[in-house]
Structure formats: C-alpha cells, structure tokens
Structure 1
Amino acid sequence: MTVTGRDLIDLGFEQGKALAGALAYVNANGIEGDALVAWAAANKPAPRIVLQDAPAIRFNLEAETELEQENVDKVRQSMDVLMRTPTLRAGAVMPDACPAGPDGTIPVGGVVAAQNAIHPGMHSADICCSVMITEFENAEPKDILDAVHQATHFGPGGRPNGMRYTMSPDLYDAFRANGYLRDKKILQAAQEHLGTQGDGNHFAFVGRSKANGTTCLVTHHGSRGPGAGLYKLGMKDAERFRKELSTGVLKQNAWIPADSPEGEAYWDALQLIRKWTKANHNCLHAATARIANADMKDRFWNEHNFVFRKGDLYWHAKGATPIDDEMLPDTGGIQIVPLNMAEPVLLIRSNPTEVNLGFAPHGAGRNYSRSAHKRAMGGRTEAEIFAEETNGLDVRFYSGNVDISELPSAYKPAATVRDQMARYKLADVVDEIEPYGSIMAGDWERDAPWRKKAQAKHAARARLEDEARRR
C-alpha cells in the first residue's frame, strides 16, 4: 500500500516541505496501518500558533485637541491589532505616541513585552536610536556648537576614506564572529558610518543646564548602516519562522524564537550594535571636546529603539526611554528626553511601576506626517517659517537646506507631553538643558544627484515639447 499526501494530512500534517519529507520517509520504510498512525502522532509538526485575545494595554496618552484625538485613535487601533500577536504579554503607550505604519504596527512611543521572542519589526531599522549628553566644565555654547559642526557628519552614506573615525579592532573582530554581523556590507558600513548621524530627526543640540549653568552637548542618532543591515537580515529570518510557526500574524510582527540558534545570534548581534552605537556617539563627543579644547564633567546616554531582556520577557521599545535599572547596565539612573530644537532637553529619573512598565517618553512625537505638516505650512515662505520658529536660536542644517518637517511646529506641543508625563507619574524632571542651538541634516534630498538628474531630464522634455508646439 502506498501512503498518500491525503493520508498524512488526515493524520495532522499540513501542506509544505514537512509533508513531502514525511511522505517520502513513510513510503520508503513501508510504514502503514497502526504504525503509520503512531508515527504521525510522534512526528507531525506542532499546531501553528494563532492570534490571541489581546492583553491589557497601559495607555498613558490622551487627546487635548481634535488633531490629537485622531492621532490617539490611530495609535489605539494599531495597538489593539498589534497586541493579538501571540508572543506578547504586556504593552504600554507613552504620551509622545504616534502611528508608524499600517494597523498592527507598533507605534512610536509603544512598548511591548514578548515571551521568548525577538521581533525585529518592533525595534525598527533604526536599531538603538539613542541620545548621549556631555556636560563640559568650562565651555561656551557657541564654541561647542561650532566644534560639533566640524566633528559630525549628517546625510546619507558614510565618511570618505581619509576622513573616518577608527573602529575598535576588538569590536570589529566581534562583528566578524557573529553570524549576522559578519555580512560584508555590515562590516563595511561599521567602518564608514562611524562618526555619522544620518538624517530625519537626528541632531546635535547644544544648551545650558538650568540647574548649574554648564554647557552641554546632546546627540541623537542610531546605529546607521550596521543596524539597518542587521534589521534586514533579522526580518528575513523572522519571516521564515512566522510562516513555519504561526497563522494570522502580520508580516511586520514576525519574530525569531529567542532560544533558537538564530535567536541567540540575533540577541548577541543586538548587544554588539549597542556597543557600536555608543562608540559612534562617544567619538563625536570626544572630537568635539578636543576641537573646542573643553574639559568633560560628565557623560551618559540611553537608547530608545531597542530590546531589553528581563527573564524570558523581551521588552521592545519603539521610541520609548527605559527607566528600569535592570535594562540599563551603564547609566546612573538619569535619562535623556529631547522634545524639539526650541525646547529644553529633559533629564529625568523614575522607577518602574504598573503604569509605566519601566519606560518613559523618548521625545515629543508627531500628530501628523512630515508631508502633511509641510502642506499645513502653505502660504508662507520657508524663510519666514524658519525665522519665526527658530528666533533667538543658532539652528543649522548640515546640507544647507531647511527641513520644514523638523521645525518645532512639526511636533506635538512639548507642554502637552510634559503635562501627561507628570499626570501619569511616568518620570520626574531633574534638570533641563535650555537650548542655544542645534544641527540637523536638513533637506539633503533637494540637491541629491538623482533629483538633479530627474529635474534636468524633465526640463529637457519640457523644452522639446515647447519647441514642437511652436513649429
């Protein structure tokens, strides 16, 4: 008797590679009848994991305007879908929350705890996006801003040969020993991108401590090319596990089982990316101090797009600042929360509670997208908007082009975030770094070669069409 695929499906197998392999095995070994039933019971794949009833969410966010209500509704709807992912055990939303994709995508300002699972999509491609502060003994804000302008690099790609910072040989060797980070593109980016800050909302901010008047430098950026490369490889493996282990789980919420060989390698890779990112901040701060001939008084940092482990729970923070000492092996209990370029950077302290789940806001967040904000600014020139929103500040865009979508009006009102942080007892403010000035990438795409080429092509086509009409 020949066993058929239908026979094995009736005994609990599913269509796919496992069915084909099982079919070949049982027929090659003449397994049939009661022996076949026993063999199938012992060897059929485990049932696929299905979506769960969503656990409760700690929602530390409320709307104060119609626009904010729309944002809150979208965040709540996305979290409701997200929390049905079968690995998740707890979730929270911070006051700076805003949607980050289709329903079911973890929002900026979202925190979730996954059991024995690492979800690359829940820390995003900007792995270990983080903030570092250096307090100087004897420096003026302008001198520090000028110095960091020399030291840093914003925009796409890395630094050209001859203008790079040096990566630690030990860290480079650790990258090469990791199954994910030994990728050639990641290794190349790890060297070229050190000392770069990218674009978007990343910045170098200089101000004075309200508590003691000292000048402080704050930088904000993530793991650049190495992190993006790890994310891409992690999502590829997570998608394979999603298809093998589950049904109904959204692609963006795929996971790598933490106790699998891939999960252990990915966890180790995350820790190395964390070290690289901290080194990236450090090299810019050290170079700034050297250029400005300034003495450091204190320096610390914290990340907000990362995964933190406590037991078998993996806490994924997508734009949320951890305040739990167990999650922060190298800080002294003070965390950094920037708001926008015209507002103070907050230094906070807190303890884990049932409300905050060990996290605080990471910034001000947005109520609408960058493009929607630009449309809302219609009727005024770029220069007028920039002058109004940066009055009294030394604000610079590295590319030379203003990015309207990064000006203060693009973000939630800082006062709203601060009020809700206090109302929900998420953290206490212990100091404020009052703004002097900042540097961001700016609208570098305006002068990008591909854009100029497209504009030239469009202009040439228009000229030809115009000439044709005149004939």
Structure 2
Amino acid sequence: MENNRINGNDLIAIGYKENHAMGVALKINKKRLGYTREEMLNHFKMVLTTPEQYLGDKVFHPLAEILLNIERIDAESIQLKTDPQDYAIYGEEHIEEGARKQMNTAMKLPVTVAGALMPDAHQGYGLPIGGVLATNNAVIPYGVGVDIGCRMALSIFDLPASYVETHADKLKEIILQETRFGAGHGFLKHERIDHAVLENTLFNTHDFIRNLKDKAWTQLGSSGGGNHFVEFGVMEFAAADKNLGVEKGKYLALLTHSGSRGLGATIADYYTKLAMKLCKLPYEAQHLAYLDLNTTEGMDYWLAMNLAGDYASACHQVIHDKIKTSLGAELLAKVENHHNFAWKEQHNSEEVIVHRKGATPASKDVLGIIPGSMATPGFLVRGKGESSALNSASHGAGRLMSRTKAIKTLVASDLTQLLKDNGITLLGAGMDEAPMAYKDIHTVMAAQKDLVSVVATFSPKIVRMANDGSRED
C-alpha cells in the first residue's frame, strides 16, 4: 500500500497557511482513507479553493467548515507577540531547529516573562523538552508535560563499589523482584502498598481525581516505560562532601527515574484539553494553552499537578525502601529532584510560574541528578543559581534521534558490544533507548558548566527498563 503520509510542508506547498485548517487537514489524512498521496493532496487543494462545495462531503466537510470560518477563528484567537522575547540558550550548536522554533513560539505568549533552553533540548509538544519558561500567574499543562513530576532519586549505600561484582546475581534478583515496569502495569490487590499520598483530600473531594484513586493505588511503586529505569551502579566521590556527609571513595548506589504513571498522564490529558478549549491560541501555539491561576480551572490543575508530583515521589520512595530492605544495607545519603513541573518562584523580585519541562532545578547549592544513558555516566550536581537559566540545568543527555529512527537505524550487536565493554547488565529496554540515540552527556555537561558543578559521578552497572515499547517521557 502506498504511504499516504502528508506533512505541514506539503500543505504549505499547495497554498495552506500554518493555522487551524492545517491541523484539521492533517487529522483527516491520518485516517488513511484509501486515497493515494497525490489524490489526497489534490482533494486538499480543491477544498482550499472551493470549500463551499465540500460542506456536504462526509470526509472533508470539517476542513471546509473551518476554511470558511478561518478569519473569524483567527480573529478570536489570543494574539501572540510579534517577536519572541530574548532567552538564554546553552549548547546552542547541539540543539535541533524544531526545539528552537517551539521555544520561540513560547516566548511570544502574552503571559511569558522569561525563558531558557537547556543543552539537552529537543522537540516535544508545546514547550520543547529542555525548555524553561516563566509566566505571569498562568500555568501551561503542556509546559509541564504529560508525565507530571517525573523525577530522579538516588540512594547511596554503606557498601563498597566492589559489591556490584561480588554480589551481581543478588542485585539482579533484587531489581527483578522489587520493581515493575511499563505503561499500564501495576500491582494486584494483594501486592499493593498503602502510603500517605493516597490520603490526599483531593481523592475524596475532587470528582475527577476521585475516580483515579484505584489507578494510583494499583501503580504505586511501579515505573513507567520509555526512558524510565531502576539501576544499581557505582557512585564515585573524588572528594568528601561535608554537606551530604559522604567521604571520598566509591560506593554502591541505586538510581531511579520515573514519574506519576497513569495518574499524572490522565490529569495532563484532561487539563490540556480543558486549557485548549478555554484558551484559544493561534495554531502554532495551540499546545501552549494556559490556565489563569485566578480561575477555578487554573487552581484545580495546580492542585492536581502537585498531587501528581507527590505521587511520583511516593513511587520512588516505595521502590527505594523495598530495595534497601532486600539489600540489608544502611543509607549514607539520599538525593531527589524532579522536572516536568511548575513552581512559584521569584524572578527579578516578582513572583512567576516557572515551568521546567525536562529541566532540573539548579538554584544556588541545590542538589540534583543528571543521568546519561544505560551505558554512560550520570552526575550528582550542585546548582549555581544562574538567573539567566532561571536556576535550571538539563535533565539528562537529551535525545539525538527519535525512537522510530533509533529502532530503524541502530544495530543490536553494537549495543551488546557497548554494554559488554562497560560491564553493564541490561534487563529489558529496546533499541530506542540505546546510548547511541542520545547526545554525548559529556558535551551536554560542558555546555552547562556555568549552571552546575559536579559533586560525584554515577556509573550504571545493572540496569532495568521496560521492554514493551511503551513511553512516558
């Protein structure tokens, strides 16, 4: 069958503009109606030329209707600023044009105060992943992201680094026994664990959230798909850190990356659609629809977002507690930080809402964790409080290629050899998470030396990820 895929550039070439009509046309094309690509393009051109003739057409009538009303729709849309505000870019030479274009659009919003782009940035929905945006009393659901409150958690144990080699089978068994992965996966009723987060009043007072309690309980303590992981590795401190209370040396450590699971995804989907309904923005900015925090809808999302963040933290706590118990070790230090969230912070002496979509908080002396990939090091860092970056840093290495491209182009034997060379045992995961699909973490770290300082280095050794192809970025 001939590929019917048509993109925005194809529609522009036959006369369409980047507006809501283009969006409707692309949705119609996704239905794959049996037409060839050329036939679809010819229909789209004819509808554009004489939309009134297609008002009764069962396929193209939505496009005809919007074309006949496009001037009114554009006039009713909230107007963007003519030019984007200036913003800081770190590692600019390594950031794709799509991410820059998305950030430029975000910097035109009437509520935008300031912004920054981190060196791991790549294109997403709405705000690019790696984008930081400060707004005036407004929160953007897609500026937070789908996996609300996604975070890193690190436990450093009182065991030497050699434990990874001497007790490899035990560590592998612990990870397999105490973790569960993948979109939609969770625990049976007799396996569930109670936690204080489930007592949040929203589960009893908020009609929408109330219906999500069982899902939250089922998935509490599980990990998502995509780039989420649980891994044992070696934590190396080149010098003692008095604030953490850890001496110079190498230690066994546990590092996890996951978020708010189905709870957060459902909240994100509901409030994104609500924002897009209430906040009519031009086509190129539609996924940046925002909610005023002085409105009931805005405050409802804010409360739900914070619940999802607390829930994500609880999931990590359950995982770390279960593994610590199975390991029978003492904890030397624990560090946790999150992204895909919005915070109320001060910027130029004014309160703003700072969205960090795939960006790590990096205020002065604040600790954070920036992972590389399954075969490259991660870093425990201390923020420098750089105001031009809105006190932020990258949340990882950042994707170099899409998941689809990685699966189609990367070779499994190359990944196997890379893991062997680095002494890494991989449990699960697919080629879409191969290290070659990511930017060089050392290049990313070099681009943000003004944002964070490195406290210690984490080298993964036993890595578990989902192997079902699911994603929860």
Please state which band the TM-score falls in when normalised by the shorter chain: 0.7 to 0.9
Distance 2:454 2:329 in 1: 27
Note if contact 1:180-1:233 (Cα within 8 Å) is conserved in structure 2: no
TM-score for both structures, normalised by structure 2: 0.74
Q: Which of 130, 136, 145 is the matching residue for 1:109?
A: 130
Q: Which of 198, 202, 205 is the matching residue for 1:171?
A: 198
Aligned AA (1:405): D
**SS of alignment partner, residue 154 of structure 1:** coil
Q: Which of 268, 271, 288 is the matching residue for 1:231?
A: 268
Shift of residue 180, structure 1, vs aligned partner: 6.3
Q: Deviations over 1:91-150 (max 9, x none)?
A: 10111111114xxx3111110011111100111111111000011113623344432321
- Give the corresponding residue for 2:338: 303
Output the aligned Cα RMSD. Answer: 2.2
Q: Does 1:59 align with 2:89?
A: yes
**SS of alignment partner, residue 368 of structure 1:** coil
Q: Deviations over 1:411-464 (max 9, x none)?
A: 001221121122xx111111111222211112457xxxxxxxxxxxxxxxxxxx
Q: Which of 391, 394, 400 is the matching residue for 2:421?
A: 391
Shift of residue 78, structure 1, vs aligned partner: 2.0
Q: Which of 105, 110, 114 is the matching residue for 1:86?
A: 110
Q: Deviations over 1:146-189 (max 9, x none)?
A: 323211101232324245332325633423245365241x2121
Q: Which of 230, 233, 247 is the matching residue for 1:204?
A: 230
- Give the corresponding residue for 1:338: 371
Check 1:88–1:177 CA distance in 2 against 1; reply closer, same or farther (3 A cut). farther
Aligned AA (1:336): I
TM-score for both structures, normalised by structure 1: 0.74
- Give the corresponding residue for 1:267: 302
Distance 1:384 1:421 in 2: 29
Check 1:257–1:324 CA distance in 2 against 1; reply closer, same or farther (3 A cut). same
- Give the corresponding residue for 1:408: 435
Moved more, 297-306 or 279-288: 297-306
Distance 2:174 2:387 in 1: 43
Distance 1:129 1:202 in 2: 9
Please show how residues 282-431 of structure 1 align to structure 2 within 5 Å.
282-310=317-345, 312-324=351-363, 333-377=366-410, 380=411, 382-398=412-428, 402-422=429-449, 425-431=450-456
Q: Specify every segment of 5 or more residues in structure 2 that has no aligned partner in the other structure, as ranges.
A: 1-75, 238-248
Q: Specify every segment of 5 or more residues in structure 1 that has no aligned partner in the other structure, as ranges.
A: 1-46, 326-331, 446-471
Distance 1:170 1:207 in 2: 29
Note if contact 1:148-1:284 (Cα within 8 Å) is conserved in structure 2: no
**SS of alignment partner, residue 421 of structure 2:** coil
Note if contact 1:164-1:191 (Cα within 8 Å) is conserved in structure 2: no
Distance 1:338 1:170 in 2: 27
Shift of residue 389, structure 1, vs aligned partner: 4.2
**SS of alignment partner, residue 434 of structure 1:** strand
Aligned AA (2:120): D
**SS of alignment partner, residue 302 of structure 1:** strand
Q: Deviations over 1:338-389 (max 9, x none)?
A: 0111222201112322332100111000122111123332xx4x24532334
- Give the corresponding residue for 1:99: 123
Give aligned-pair identity as a percent: 28
Aligned AA (2:424): D
**SS of alignment partner, residue 445 of structure 2:** helix
Distance 1:74 1:334 in 2: 30
Distance 2:279 2:284 in 1: 7
Q: Which of 140, 143, 150 is the matching residue for 2:177?
A: 150
Aligned AA (2:235): S
Distance 2:457 2:400 in 1: 24
How many positions carry a matched residue from both structures? 373
Check 1:95–1:180 CA distance in 2 against 1; reply closer, same or farther (3 A cut). farther
**SS of alignment partner, residue 217 of structure 1:** strand
Please show how residues 21-36 of structure 1 align to structure 2 within 5 Å.
none
- Give the corresponding residue for 2:258: 221
